[in-house]
Amino acid sequence: MLRQLLSPPLLSGLDVGTKAFTKNRSDMEEHLTVLGELLDEADAGGGPDSMARLRSRDKMPIRERIACVLDPDSPFLEISPLAGYESSYTVGGGFVVGIGVIAGVECVICGNDPTVLGGAMTPYMAKKWMRAIEIARHNRMPYVSFVESAGADLRVQTGGGSNKRRVKVDHFAESGRFFYEMTELSKLAIPSVCVVFGSSTAGGAYQPGMSDYTIFIKERSKVFLAGPPLVKMATGEDANDETLGGGKLHAEKSGLADYLAEDEMDALRMCREVVSHLDWRKAGPDRSYETSEPVHDVEGLMGIVSKDLKQPVDVKEIIARVVDGSRFEEFKPRYGPTMICGFATIHGYPVGILGNNGVIHPGAAEKAAHFIQLCNRQDTPLIFLQNITGFMVGSDSEEAGIIKKGSQMINAVSNSTVPHLTVIIGASYGAGTYGMSGRAYGNRFTFLWPMAKIAVMGPKQIAGVMSLVRRGQAARKGLQFDEEADAEIVRQVEAAQEKGSLALEATGAVSDDGIIDPRDTRTVLGLCLSVVRTAPMEGAEKYGVFRL
């Protein structure tokens, strides 16, 4: 029987009629418009000519293939859709990764975009591919790949002008690691299903070779370690695509193909049938609480955060618009008030939430460590809502033990065994990023709001610190300090650091799982909470909770 939290709904003091809210909402809508345009660009793949050429061959674009394999009216949570932003590569990196439902089973689904460099492995595709395997492994989810690849992009270095990100990558070493990771899935009894839609050469050929189930398409799938030109050069043999590695050959002679489909839709039907016979079950607990919409309007999330991240944000206003019934049982509400901790449910799944209402003081760090231990004792996943400039500095904080208590918090985060989901709603600076379970801390998913910023510290602080260092160096050398030149350096550093800290820069480098519309936060977290329960909980610590 489903239960309900007994805590009352959070009250809201948000005034949507203020000039500040209106300005914040306008800024957020502007950011979302830019995001929408970039998502359209990613969806367009290699452009209209490439798309027209693909369709002229009776082939579907990658996202249509995915849409056709999913259960009707089921969601698809795409991961890192804007990879490669501001690089010389197509937005999206020529590869799609996401989580969707096939035959009632939540699966990791990934696939090459054949309209982008023939589906070749770009550096951004490599990062997304590794992330896809990581999600499948950590969450114990079937792994479904749609392969149509020309192999590795053999161009060692790419990039254009000064505003283009240059990338150097060792495809050979990285490819080998991918295949190792794919075989690891099989060892962990996580099934992998590969559908080959076209030519899959060299490294692309090993993807079906390393999969548990393979589906080929008659007169479409072409799988070989070396194509006809290379075979001719290496051995002198004259061969065509079909006789060298066509679907019929692999289904009837080599045995690489387990199923041979008539066309793309037939292959997708077979894929659904294969997933259906896996009899896949979640190893973790199902939802145990009733679900209900938040009491407060989700549209309020559009105007909570200012583009000027120095403006304070009450994280409880966000929690009230994300959790079931806006019900939130706050833990230690009078102690360490700049860290908000408490229990709630999202789409019926119990969660522990940690959110920032300012810098992390010693007491706040101590409270967070205690709360994390409690959630681990009862196998409750943790959600971190980051808006943090770091741990408090200064004489008073040092005397109060900020290093010791901050280390306790980071220790608790590092050794926590329950799933962590992180949403960066505003600033994510310095060691505060680590304390609030940043990407480096093995959290299951990390998402950003559009105006979020990630950096070692704020742009003004970085530029100011560097200016003080230059001033000190000049004083030690007995030199006159050039105020005008320093002011120009400060301006340039601030501008560079500001640009580098933007959410789009971070997501373009695949340092997170994507930027989301604030209004979708509840839905995205609900999907992820369902996903993390596919794997069993790892078990809590073998000692009691410390009152730190």
Tell which phi-psi region holds residue 313, choosing left (phi > 0), alpha (psi between -120 and 50) or beta: beta
Please give the Cα distance from 424 to 489 (Å, whole number). 30
Does position 496 have pLDDT exceeding 80, yes or no? no
- Among 166-180, 247-261, 287-301, 446-460, the least confident range: 166-180
Residue 11 is predicted with a pLDDT of: 96
Residue 156 is predicted with a pLDDT of: 45
Name the nearest CA neighbour of 65 among 137, 131, 141, 145: 145
- Among 112-116, 122-126, 214-218, the least confident range: 122-126
Residue 165 is predicted with a pLDDT of: 47
Does position 474 have pLDDT exceeding 60, yes or no? yes
Bridge pairing between strands 105-112 and 453-455: unpaired
Beta bridge partners of 144: 109, 193
Place of tokens 């249509």: 64
Helices 171-187 and 123-139: crossing angle, nearest 10°?
A: 20
Q: What is the mean pLDDT of residues 29-47?
A: 96
Residue 168 is predicted with a pLDDT of: 47
Residue 418 is predicted with a pLDDT of: 95
Are the CB atoms for 522 and 297 separated by under 8 Å?
Answer: no
* Banded pLDDT at 544 (limits 50, 70, 90): low
Does position 162 have pLDDT exceeding 50, yes or no? no
Helices 62-69 and 264-277: crossing angle, nearest 10°?
A: 40
Q: Nearest 5 degrees, angle CA 212-CA 215-CA 220?
A: 145
Residue 491 is predicted with a pLDDT of: 83
What is the CB neighbour count within 10 angstroms for residue 102? 24
Question: Phi and psi of 233, rounded to 5°?
Answer: -70, -35
Please give the Cα distance from 392 to 421 (Å, whole number). 24
Beta bridge partners of 222: 199, 246
pLDDT in tens, 432-458: 898 999 988 889 999 999 999 998 766
State the pTM of this model.
Answer: 0.90
Q: Nearest 5 degrees, angle CA 68-CA 69-CA 75?
A: 85
Question: Phi and psi of 75, rounded to 5°?
Answer: -80, 160
* Banded pLDDT at 495 (limits 50, 70, 90): confident
Q: Considering the chain, what is the average pLDDT of its residues?
A: 89
Q: What is the mean pLDDT of residues 248-252?
A: 94
* Banded pLDDT at 175 (limits 50, 70, 90): low
Please give the Cα distance from 282 to 303 (Å, whole number). 38
Q: Is 3 exposed, middle or buried (0-12, 13-18, 19+ CB in 10 A)?
A: exposed
* Banded pLDDT at 158 (limits 50, 70, 90): very low
Does position 16 have pLDDT exceeding 70, yes or no? yes
Please give the Cα distance from 140 to 185 (Å, whole number). 9
Alpha helices, H only, 378-502 = 395-399, 402-415, 430-435, 459-476, 483-500
In one-letter notation, the amino acid at residue 291 is T
Residue 160 is predicted with a pLDDT of: 41
